[in-house]
Amino acid sequence: MDDLTHANYGLSAAPEAHPAEEVDNSLPRAVLRPGAHFLLDGTWRFAIDPDDVGLAQDWALGQEYDYTAQWPGSIEEHMAQAHTAVGPAWQDRIVAWYEREFTLPEVAEAQSRSLFQLTFGACGYETRVWLNGHLLQTIEGEEIHFGEYTSFSYELPEEHLHLVNRLTVRIADTMDAETTRGKQESHVYKRGGIWYQTYTGAVRSVWLETVERNRLRSRVGVVSVIEDHLVRFNLTMRIHDPAQYTVRLQVFELDSPADVTQPGVVPLASSDFPLYLTEGQHEQRLVVEVPGAEVWCPENPHRYRLVAQLIDATGYTAQIEARFGLRKVEARGRKIYLNNEPVYLDGILYQPGTATYAEMQRHMHAMKALGCNLVRVHIAGIDPRIYNLADELGLLLWVEVPSPHSSTPRSRENHHAELLRMLTLMETHPSIIIWSLYNEDWGAQDIATNPETRAYIVDTYHFMQLAHPQFLVIDNDGWHHISYHGRLKSDILTAHLYTPDLGRWRELLDRLIGGEMQGTAAFPLVVGDPFFYRGQVPLLVSEWGGFGFSDYGGPADAEARTNSIRAFKQELRKRPIAGDVYTQATNIEDERNGLIGFHSGELDVPEGLLHSEPEQIG
């Protein structure tokens, strides 16, 4: 695995940070920034605000806390550890407060050129932050940050900083079905079966670091068209001092020396871009040619190292780094093509739930050992270091927007905002090839009857095609895909097919490839205008199996499951289907259909079971 903890990314841990799960101290982000950071994980003071009086009573100015909690963690576990009763209030809304002090680190940079930035790896759903009693605004200007799956940052005002500082955080969440929550319980879906215990709050690390006043933000989008050897980088610049700047992009092999200024270190490609930048935030696409570049693929996950620099008129340089790969994915006819070669997607459904980062690492290695080349991360936001690991291992990823649980104008606004937040921070990874907007109508329950719901999904699909052409996009996975004037508004036609009976399985697959849009999945496969399937888009059985989950009636013991999986997989490969996704990788709460030990990462079935080469499934 890549070393993300060398000197350029060192940290100073908070004195009270507890190291029980500190297996990797790299930060949960894809883009790397030289310099030290100060991790604020560890023991925080903690209080529940059951009557939501903390704002009115100015708790941020000073409050007695009866409990402590370990950050990162969930409000649910913190309440349990504090022996705070989970009463009816949590069935509607929960408000929690966290507070700690930190000493301002010494910095080597000239203070006039740098400032302190505070970043939350993920926190929410609704987060407010105070520094020494002063309410902060995110870099985007939000006093309240919404969302709990992606990072957000604050620049700390120098006038409010002291030698010892008090940081106060208020987190609120509800059972509101209009917010993006994936498979966590809500007012609509109660816990049990496939609906999980809520896990919200201080869920990822928080850290302090020095950054330049004028800099490239930790966001790099990568779009490659392998035929022209051009890499299109989407960069974001944060400027306090309007002036003429130069953006310098250099591409190196991944194993190049960390210090690119050393004599003899020559980039594979380099280009300068002069830009006059006004105060504020700027997004800019810049294109670099990398002659003779190798493509990234599961068999050869070759990556390069981008060093991006923002240089001012005096020569002062602000730098970030990203690892990237060149790859192209397309849906043509019945097949999916990766780098212009047809690829069959041997997939598995993955729901990490409350897994630690170390456990998720074990899961990823185990899924590759099963023979998978695709992991479908099921309607959840996860630690971004897992995307880095997928890039390294050569595992293709299918990611999904955590869904709301009701279909309303507000739920669609929340869904769109969550999609944009995720895209901003996940465009770097060559492993991510598929996005799905919805799953099984969750948050779009009226998709078959409401033109407004369909219009939103169609518009979002078109947006993704134009703004993010490096991904394949699925409108609503499993059934109820949208046809508009006979054109499918999904790059792949997907179906969820569950049966433990092999004869019934053959029948369903034959009906599916025969173009029967009704009677295969639980609901019609396509809604909207009439749609006639003639092999114009790839077919993908995006959920099947479930063997071991009693509701599906599948075999419970490992040997019987192994035999069923082999037999069912053979039937898939006999037909013109582009891929499949077995359900699922690990057990999670009430779903007992996993093939991998949740804590151990050990396989309960033979290695290579989901690999579909003939010698593996024959």
What tens digit of pLDDT does each residue of 484-502 get?
999 999 999 999 999 999 9
* Residues 501, 503, 506: CA angle, nearest 5 degrees: 110
Closest CA to 523 of 476, 591, 456: 476
Closest CA to 62 of 128, 132, 118, 126: 132
Residues 6+ away with beta carbon under 8 Å from 71: 40, 41, 42, 43, 44, 98, 202, 205, 206
Which stretches of the chain score pLDDT less than 50?
Answer: 1-25, 86-89, 615-618
pLDDT for res 85: 52
Residues facing residue 38 across a β-bridge: 12, 208
Q: 519 and 562 in contact (C-beta within 8 Å)? A: no
pLDDT for res 555: 66
Torsion sign, CA atoms 86, 88, 94, 100: negative
What are the CA-CA distances from residue 456 to residues 405, 412, 417, 418, 461 (Å)? 16, 8, 13, 14, 9
Both tokens assigned to 369? 């050992």
Taking each helix axis from N to C end, the angle separating 384-393 and 409-426, rounded to the nearest 10 degrees, works out to: 50
Burial bucket for residue 255 (CB in 10 Å: 0-12, 13-18, 19+): exposed
Q: Say how many residues make up the chain.
A: 618
Q: 98 and 45 in contact (C-beta within 8 Å)? A: yes
Closest CA to 86 of 98, 75, 102, 72: 75
Q: Residue 21 corresponds to which amino acid?
A: E
Predicted model pTM: 0.93
Number of neighbours of residue 447 by Cβ within 10 angstroms: 24
Q: 234 and 467 in contact (C-beta within 8 Å)? A: no
Q: Residue 479 corresponds to which amino acid?
A: W
In the sheet that 526-528 helps form, which strands lie side by side, from edge to edge?
487-488, 481-484, 526-528
DSSP helix/strand/coil, 117: strand
Closest CA to 588 of 307, 337, 378: 378
Return d(Cα 522, Cα 139) in angstroms, integer: 45
Question: Superfamily for 331-596?
Answer: Glycosidases (3.20.20.80)
CATH class of the domain whose range is 31-211? mainly beta
Closest CA to 179 of 164, 165, 152, 198: 198
Burial bucket for residue 237 (CB in 10 Å: 0-12, 13-18, 19+): buried
Q: What are the pLDDT digits (tens) for 238-274?
A: 999 999 999 999 999 998 887 777 887 899 999 999 9
Q: Is the peptide bond before 262 cis (omega within 30 degrees of 0)?
A: no
DSSP helix/strand/coil, 567: helix
- For the chain, report the end-to-end CA distance as a whole number of angstroms: 33
Q: 60 and 249 in contact (C-beta within 8 Å)? A: no
Domain boundaries, the chain: 31-211, 215-324, 331-596
Both tokens assigned to 139? 């870099």
Distance from chain centroid for Cα 282? 23
* Residues 120, 125, 131: CA angle, nearest 5 degrees: 45
Number of neighbours of residue 98 by Cβ within 10 angstroms: 25
Question: Superfamily for 215-324?
Answer: Immunoglobulins (2.60.40.10)
Q: 575 and 537 in contact (C-beta within 8 Å)? A: no
What are the CA-CA distances from residue 523 to residues 232, 440, 447 (Å)? 40, 9, 12
Q: 456 and 489 in contact (C-beta within 8 Å)? A: no
